[in-house]
């Protein structure tokens, strides 16, 4: 069930997120130009760095060449289980990824595309056979997750960010809440006694976390969950990038302090890289951010009795070509 936000013409300047809302905070800090050196040191000193990220070159797709090589693909992996284990964000042993997104930034920097992959998507995980895609992180850490996603899109991943769901709560509280426009009312199973009404409403950190995690309230489970996560990300984008946030040094410092415990990145995804992207993307508008979902053929049951999401394999070739040729702008989810 593809889900896309209409790609509209730019009407004003906007600094676009790389995909991780947490990284967005840092782009905002660069955009504000307030205490940039101090903020840079704060981020680079505090954020956790993943020691091993990529699989061996022999099992990866060929590296892009020419102009296409300037495009960037960032894999964002999210989990709401790390906090329960009270482990480091870099200790991913046994952890499954509840959020899987590929953020594509084209070479011409004329937009940003974010593809969500449903966590129960059934496919071949290298060395383990058929399984749900979120098992890759548990079985082989970030390198196997990268190898599995690269095998799906037939294109290399350039950077990786691992995000804990608790970071959503931290960001929301740090900026005083975010406004969402909720299309379907539901009673939260994560926040007992709370109902998310239809329409615009400001959510607190705990409410944002419950909103992003909910799936039991919906007949289609993770399909609506993913759409709500995308909706929340965009609301956070709007709030974090507002002038009252990016021009306030105290708010920016608080954001970084709140966010860094909940994110881990590869060693190339540092503050300098993020602010470099910010300069390249500074003329984009929020409508230049497009969300869509990996094409599926609905749900089913595996041979061993698991509830799964069937990938629309007959629709993969156009998607893979769009990633390989940096033409997602022409791809129709």
Q: What is the pLDDT of residue 241?
A: 60
Determine the Cα–Cα distance for residues 122 and 132; give it in Å rounded to an integer: 5
Q: What is the pLDDT of residue 272?
A: 80
Under DSSP, is residue 290 helix (H, G, I), strand (E, B) or coil?
strand
Kindly report the CATH number assigned to the domain that includes residue 75: 3.40.630.190
288 assigned to some structural domain: yes
10 assigned to some structural domain: no
Determine the Cα–Cα distance for residues 300 and 84; give it in Å rounded to an integer: 30
Determine the Cα–Cα distance for residues 18 and 27; give it in Å rounded to an integer: 9
CA distances from 218 to 20, 64, 159, 184, 224 (A): 25, 40, 33, 9, 7
Cβ(4)–Cβ(290) under 8 Å?
A: yes
Higher pLDDT, 207 or 232: 207
E strands, 66-177, are 72-79, 99-105, 112-116, 121-125, 129-132, 159-164
Residue 328: pLDDT above 90?
A: yes
**Sole residue written with tokens 């021009």:** 247
Of the candidates 211, 26, 43, 19, which has an alpha carbon nearest to the alpha carbon of residue 115? 19
316 assigned to some structural domain: yes
Determine the Cα–Cα distance for residues 85 and 289; give it in Å rounded to an integer: 34
Structure tokens at 268: 């190339």
pLDDT, tens digit (0-9, with 9 covering 90-100), for 32-63 = 444 566 667 667 777 888 888 999 999 999 99
Residue 281: pLDDT above 50?
A: yes
5 assigned to some structural domain: no
Q: What is the pLDDT of residue 273?
A: 85
Cβ(52)–Cβ(68) under 8 Å?
A: no
Rounded to two decimals, the pTM is 0.83
Question: Domain span at residue 274?
Answer: 21-330
Q: What is the pLDDT of residue 135?
A: 92
215 assigned to some structural domain: yes
**What's the maximum distance between 2 C-alpha atoms anywhere in the chain?**
56
Total domains, the chain: 1
Please tell me the least confidently modeled range out of 95-99, 117-121, 191-195, 201-205. 95-99
Higher pLDDT, 270 or 56: 56
257 assigned to some structural domain: yes
310 assigned to some structural domain: yes
Band (28; pLDDT cuts 50, 70, 90): very low
pLDDT, tens digit (0-9, with 9 covering 90-100), for 109-147 = 998 898 999 999 999 999 999 999 999 998 998 999 999
Residue 205: pLDDT above 70?
A: yes
66 assigned to some structural domain: yes
Determine the Cα–Cα distance for residues 163 and 244; give it in Å rounded to an integer: 25
Higher pLDDT, 303 or 86: 303
Q: What is the pLDDT of residue 87?
A: 54
Q: What is the pLDDT of residue 119?
A: 92
Band (248; pLDDT cuts 50, 70, 90): low
Determine the Cα–Cα distance for residues 131 and 125; give it in Å rounded to an integer: 7
């Amino acid at each position: 069930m593809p889900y896309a936000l209409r790609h509209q013409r730019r009407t004003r300047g906007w600094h676009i997120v790389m995909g991780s809302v947490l990284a967005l905070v840092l782009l905002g800090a660069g955009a504000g130009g307030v205490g940039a050196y101090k903020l840079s040191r704060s981020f680079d000193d505090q954020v956790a760095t993943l020691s091993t990220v990529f699989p061996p070159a022999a099992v990866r797709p060929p590296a892009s060449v020419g102009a296409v090589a300037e495009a960037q693909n960032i894999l964002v992996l999210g989990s709401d289980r790390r906090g329960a284990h009270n482990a480091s964000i870099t200790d991913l042993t046994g952890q499954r990824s509840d959020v899987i997104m590929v953020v594509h930034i084209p070479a011409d920097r004329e937009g940003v595309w974010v593809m969500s992959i449903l966590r129960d998507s059934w496919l071949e995980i290298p060395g383990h056979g058929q399984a749900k895609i979120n098992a890759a992180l548990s079985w082989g850490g970030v390198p196997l997750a990268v190898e599995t996603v690269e095998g799906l899109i037939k294109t290399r991943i350039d950077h990786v960010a691992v995000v804990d769901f608790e970071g959503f709560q931290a960001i929301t509280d740090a900026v005083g809440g975010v406004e969402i426009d909720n299309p379907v009312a539901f009673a939260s199973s994560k926040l007992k006694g709370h109902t998310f009404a239809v329409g615009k409403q400001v959510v607190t950190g705990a409410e944002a976390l419950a909103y992003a995690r909910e799936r039991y309230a919906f007949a289609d489970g993770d399909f609506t969950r993913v759409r709500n996560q995308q909706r929340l990300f965009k609301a956070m984008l709007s709030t974090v990038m507002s002038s009252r946030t990016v021009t306030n040094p105290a708010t920016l410092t608080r954001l970084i302090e709140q966010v860094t415990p909940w994110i881990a990145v590869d060693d190339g995804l540092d503050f300098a890289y993020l602010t470099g992207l910010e300069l390249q993307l500074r003329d984009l508008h929020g409508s230049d951010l497009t969300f869509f979902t990996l094409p599926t053929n609905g749900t089913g049951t595996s041979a061993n009795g698991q509830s799964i999401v069937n990938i629309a394999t007959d629709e993969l070739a156009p998607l893979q070509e769009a990633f390989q040729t940096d033409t997602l702008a022409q791809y129709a989810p």
